[in-house]
Amino acid sequence: MSSFTRIAPCPALVSSRGRGGNRSFPIFSLSFAVFHNVRIPRENLLNKTGDVAPDGRYVTPFKDPNKRFGESLGALSGGRVSITRMAQVNLKLALTVAIRFSATRRQFGPPNTEEIPVLEYQLQQWRLIPYLAAAYALEHFSKSLFMNFAEFQLGAMMKEKSERQADMGREIHALGCSSKPLGSWTAQRGIQECREACGGHGYLAMNRLGDLRNDNDPNCTYEGDNNVLLQQTSNYLLGWLSAKHRDGVRIESPFHTVDFLDHFPQILETKFTATTAEQCMDPAVSLAAYRWLVCFLLDESRRRLEEQRSEGKDDFEARNGSQVYYCRSLALAYIELCCLQRFSAQVSAEDTPAGLRPVLGQLCALYGLWSLSSHMATLYQGGYLSGRKPNELVQMAVLALCSQLKDDAVALVDAFAPPDFILNSPIGNADGQGHKVLERPSWWKEFSSDKPAVGSLRPKL
């Protein structure tokens, strides 16, 4: 609803109103218009995947309804792909502020020595540096996903009607429906951690962490609530498994994110084999664990659905009763694997400068192990891990990688940080002198100098 346009009189317009401003975007108003019995001319139909002939017949270039549906779904993905990148912008800004502040803020230290920067503390490293690794991984993944979406859109503009085009639409839809939850939730948790890691300074309005948190908040719900969107991704994966069991089809997709599922039975036979923390730092270890995890959760979700249906529940009830611990976890594990897989491939790519590969490899390994840590219970439940040693090794590797990356952390945020006037956060200034801005802001002279002489008021009282 724009203030620069005026709706022409329309008898069918039942009501039109705004519902007020938003928490993060007060300049925008949520509005709606309700129409009743409005006839839409046939020429104005949205008919990219199907049309209505003058004689009333429905016509479509797609013989398979699933292919037609896939082509339609791809059009919905643009906003979700963009939101994934928007969330990463907020996360990177928050990390820039928190890590720069942590590198300059000194507090306590060993007896009879100078105070040390809080970034030297293991707990501060563990709180912030995994999110730095996530920011790099998601930055690359969101860019590569955008290129996938651009390829799909190019085919759509060229009016390509091939099966591959429809398959691309379905895969983009599955990726978009899970990348937005992963990106926005990671940013949500990361920004909050950055805010808390800066103590009271993080709560100070001028340091912007509160604004960044509010700005990211709607990313979790617009263009689809995250928890609802994840159901689309799990449906996509379950559809592949069903086709494999029913028709024996080869599991293969245009962007190859599900190709490993073609070896579903063999992957479920694998076990965790690393015996040292150093071995765990190889991204291949996390990738193997994630492939097993996705296969296991896919099989468990299928079993859960079959159990629900065997109890007489219809498809709606069966799916509704299979989300928590099953389909939702499946979708998240799948998108985390996709993100890790693409980041790992980029680290080892020929066009990646050799001098950057060591630190990027550490970021990749940390992101994989840190993300995998949230699935430990499932890995033990399915028998991929056994005994206490694997969990200890993963924890040791995460802490070791955080320690190794702490000296590069400031340089890593400097690589993506905007200029100070855009960051607009005193404690996040690139020169590390934010405390001076807090103690004496640029406008202090207006209150302490160049004032007119004012006589005493005492004689006038």
pLDDT digits (tens, 9 = 90+) for 152-188: 989 888 888 788 888 898 999 999 999 999 999 999 9
CA distance 208 to 338: 32
Residue 1's pLDDT band (cuts 50, 70, 90): very low
Domains of the chain listed by start with CATH number: 1-41 (no CATH), 69-251+259-414 (1.20.140.10)
Least confident of 84-88, 132-136, 241-245: 241-245
In this prediction the pTM is 0.85
Percent of the chain with pLDDT over 70: 86
pLDDT for residue 145 is more than 90: yes
Task: Give the model's pLDDT for residue 52.
Answer: 87
Query: Which of 268, 331, 326 lies closest to 301, judged by CA?
Result: 326
DSSP string, 15-34: EEEEEEE-SS-TT-EEEEEE
How far apart, in whole angstroms, are the C-alpha atoms of residue 401 and residue 367?
10
Token representation of residue 311: 């109890």
Tell me, what amino acid is at 214?
N
- What is the Cα–Cα distance from 236 to 301, expressed in whole angstroms? 12
**So what's the pLDDT on residue 20?**
55
Region 204-231 average pLDDT: 90
Stretch (H or E) spanning 397: helix 389-406
SS3 of 35, please?
strand
Q: What is the arithmetic mean of pLDDT over 142-155?
A: 93
pLDDT tens-digit map of 57-116? 888 877 777 667 766 666 678 889 999 999 999 999 999 999 999 998 888 878 877 888
Nearest to 269 by CA among 242, 290, 296, 249: 296
- Residues 361/346, Cβ–Cβ less than 8 Å: no
Nearest Cα to 255, choosing from 154, 170, 344, 381? 170
* φ, ψ for residue 78, nearest 5 deg: -55, -45
Torsion 312-315-320-324 (CA) sign: positive
Q: Chain-wide mean pLDDT for the chain?
A: 87
- In 3-state terms, what secondary structure has residue 350? coil
**Is the pLDDT score of 239 beyond 60?**
yes
Closest CA to 416 of 132, 209, 226, 67: 132
pLDDT of residue 32: 72
Which pLDDT score is estimated for 25?
A: 59
CA distance 312 to 317: 9
Query: What angle in degrees, to the nearest 10, is found between the helix axes of 77-104 and 163-197?
Result: 30
The active-site residue, picked from 71, 223, 300, 336, is 223
Lowest-confidence segment of 329-343, 376-390, 426-440 by average pLDDT: 426-440
How far is the CA of 88 from the CAs of 77, 170, 376, 448, in angstroms?
Answer: 17, 24, 26, 41
Where do we find the tokens 């100098």?
449
Residue 331 amino acid letter: A
CA distance 430 to 424: 11
- Does pLDDT of 136 surpass 50? yes
- What is the predicted pLDDT for the residue at 233? 96
pLDDT of residue 266: 96
Q: Answer yes or no: 223 catalytic.
A: yes
pLDDT tens per residue across span 25-59? 555 666 777 777 888 788 888 887 788 888 888 88
CA dihedral (97, 361, 389, 370) positive or negative: positive
Q: What are phi and psi of 62, to 5 degrees?
A: -100, 120
